[in-house]
Chains A and B, each alone.
Chain A
Amino acid sequence: MPDNDVLREMHHQMVRIRLFEESIQQAYLEGKTPAFDIAAGPVPGEMHLAAGQEPVAAGVCAHLRASDAVTATHRPHHIALAHGMDMKRLAAEIFGKETGLGHGRGGHMHLFDAATNFGCSGIVGEGIPTAVGHALAYKKQGRDNVAVSFFGEGAANQGAFHEALNLAALWKLPVLFVCEDNAWAISVPKEKATAIANNADRAAAYGIPGVLVPDNDPVAVYEVAGEAVARARRGGGPSLIEVKTDRLLGHFEGDPQMYRSPEELARLKDRDALRAFERRLIETAVLTAADAQATWDRARAEVDEAIQFARTSPYPEPAAALLHVFA
C-alpha cells in the first residue's frame, strides 16, 4: 500500500489532469459553436481527452524519474502531466504558440519534451518500439533508468506491439508496456477487435510477466507498476501491464458517440474513478474534505495560469514553418 504522501500526490495529479483537460475542452469548443468547424477557434484540429484514464497515468508515473523515458499516444495529456511535463509549455503547444514545447509545430498529438524524456505519436502502436529503444540505450549505458510505453487496447492489435514485446523480452530490456484498456477504439469495441479477453495474457507469448489490473484504481495500478519498475531497474526485464480503465468522453471532441448506449454513458458518469478515489481517501482519513478542496483550488490556479500563459503567448512567425527540418 502506498503511503499517505503518495496517495495524496496521486490524487493531486489526477485532479490537475482533470482540470487541465476540462479547460482544454472549453478552449477547444470556442469558435466551434453553433456550427462545429474542426479548423476554427484557438485550439483547432483533433482533440483526444483522457477523462477517466487518470488512474493509469498517476499510478505508473508515481514510480518514475524525469530521466525515465515515456512514450504515449494520440491521447497523451494525462501521461505527460503525471510524468512532470511543464503544464505551461504543454498548454502553449496545444494552442499552437511559440512558447509551446515544439514552438507550435507538433500540436496535441505530437508532444516532445527533452526535460521529461517524453514523446508521443498519433500513429496507433508506433510509440511502442521507441520505448524499447530508450530501454536499449539505458542497458548499453549501464543506467538504471526504465522506459514506459502507454498505449490503448486497440494498439495491441498492431504488429508494432508484438515486435516490440518480443525485442524487449529477447534483449531483457528495462521497459514497461502499459495497455490502457478503455474498451473502445473509436467506435470499435474491444470484443469485436481482439480475439482474447485480456491483453495481459499476450505477455505469455513473449515469456514476460503480464499483469491484469481489473479496476480503474490508482492504488492497484501503483502496486503492480511498482513491482514492474523495480524489476526492470534491477535488470529483470520487461513487463506488460493491462488496466481496465474508462473513456468518459468521446474518442475525440465532437464525437457524437452514436455507437455507445445511453446506459453505458450514464454508468460511466457514476463511476468516475477520480471521484471514487477522492471519496475513499476522505473515508480513510488520508485527506480531509478541506484538504481535498485545497487540492482542487491549487490545481485550478495552476491550470488557469497555464491556460492564460498559452492564450497570451505569441504565435510563431509564419515563415518559421521552414525551420527545424534538419538539426
Chain B
Amino acid sequence: MAVETKRLLTTSKAISEAFAQEMERDPSVFLMGEDIGVYGGIFGATTGLLERFGPERVMDTPISETGFIGAAIGAALSGMRPVAELMFVDFFGVCMDQIYNHMAKIHYESGGNLKVPMVLTTAIGGGYSDGAQHSQTLYGMFAHLPGMKIVVPSTPYDAKGLMISAIRDDNPVLYMFHKGIMGLGWMTPNPRATGHVPEEPYTVPIGTADVKRAGRDLTIVTLSLMVHRALDAAEDLAKEGIEAEVLDLRSVIPLDREAIVASVRKTHRLLVVDEDYQSFGLSGEVITTAVQGAFDSLDAPPARLAYPDVPIPYSRPLEQFCLPNREKIVAAAKQLLA
C-alpha cells in the first residue's frame, strides 16, 4: 500500500493560502485591515501576502474601522471583492453601523438588485487573559441580525475551504476565527490547530455542519475552539464507554438545522457547548431546533454549557471558572446520561 504523505498546515497558514489563491484567480479580490501588511496580521492570517501582492492589494489601514469597513462595502458594490479585517471582534462597537445597517441590509433594501460580495474577517475568543474587551466570541449577536452569512471554522482544512467559499459568495460573509485555532507560536500549543490541507484550491460549502466524531450516546453540538475541547472530552468519555457524537456547526448562518436534528434523532441526547454568552444566543437556537425537529426522540431535556452572562474577567482563575473546558464537558455529558 502506498504511504500517503499529507501536507500539514496551521489554520493561519491555511487561511493565508486561501487568500493567496483567490487573489491569483480573481483580480477583484483585495485585503484591507490594520497591521495586515508588513506585520502579516496580528493572528498571522495574511503572512507573506504583502510581499507577494503589493500594497495596492494588501492595504494597511488607519485605525478607522467605520471608514475602511464602509469602504469595503462601497468597493463591493462597485465590482470588487474586498476582504476587510476587524482585528478583534470586540472592536465591532466602533463600526457596527456599517456592518449591520449597511453591509447586511443593502441587498435586501435594494430588493435584490445590489450585491455586497465581501468578507469581513475577525478574531474571536478568550482563554488567555486578554480581558473583557479582547476575548469575546459574539457570533450569536451577529447571527441575530439578518443579512450576513457567518462562518466559524475549527480546523485548518475547513478554514481554507470556508474562506474560498466566503470570497466567492455573492453575499457578505462574516468569517470568525478563534485565536486558539490558528496554531500561533505565541499561544498555548494546540495540536488540533495543525492539520491536513490540500494544496489546490477547494471549497467547503457554507451552511453545512460536519460530524467531527461519530457516536451513539449523545450529541455535542459546538463550533470553533470548543470543537477541540469537545473532541478531547469525547476521548475521555470513550474511556468510560460513552460515545459522544461531536457535530461541528462550521457555519452559524445559515445554520445546518437538518444536521442537528439528524444527530439528535440518532443519539437522543443533546449537549450544546458554546464559548459565547449563554442567554439569547446560539445555544438557545440550537436547542430550539432540536426540540422542534426531534422532540419525540429526546430522552432527556437538552443541556447547554456556555459562557455565563458576565463580561469576561481578566484574572486567570476568574476566566477559567467561566469558560467551558474539557472537564466541564465530560461532567455535563455524564449528567445528561445519568
Contact = CB atoms under 8 A, between A and B. Distances in A.
A204 interface: no
A304 interface: no
A36 B318 contact: no
Binding site secondary structure of chain B: loop
B315 interface: yes
Interface string A23-59: 0000000000001111110001110000000000000
A258 B38 contact: yes
B314 A96 contact: yes
Contacts of A321: 308, 310, 313, 318-319, 321-322
B311 A46 contact: no
A316 B321 CA distance: 11
A159 B94 contact: yes
Interface stretch (A137-145, A150-158, A273-281): A150-158
Given A36-B186, A38-B186, A106 B60 contact: no
Place the interface of chain A in its size category. Answer: 35 or more
Nearest to A254: B186
Given A110-B133, A325-B311, A157 B64 contact: yes
B275 interface: no
B128 A186 contact: no
Binding site secondary structure of chain A: loop
Interface centre among B37, B132, B189 (most CB of A within 10 A): B132
B188 interface: yes
Interface in B177-224: 185-189
B317 A318 contact: yes
A115 B264 CA distance: 55
Given A38-B188, A124-B91, 17 more contacts: A37-B188, A44-B316, A45-B128, A105-B313, A110-B132, A122-B131, A122-B133, A157-B62, A157-B67, A159-B94, A185-B34, A193-B62, A317-B317, A318-B320, A319-B321, A321-B313, A321-B319
27 contacts: A37-B189, A38-B129, A38-B130, A39-B316, A46-B130, A102-B314, A103-B315, A104-B314, A104-B315, A105-B132, A105-B313, A106-B314, A108-B314, A110-B131, A110-B132, A125-B63, A154-B63, A158-B94, A159-B67, A185-B63, A186-B35, A186-B39, A188-B35, A188-B60, A193-B60, A316-B315, A321-B310
Interface of A: 35-40, 44-46, 96-97, 100, 102-110, 121-126, 154-155, 157-160, 185-188, 192-194, 254, 258-259, 315-322, 325
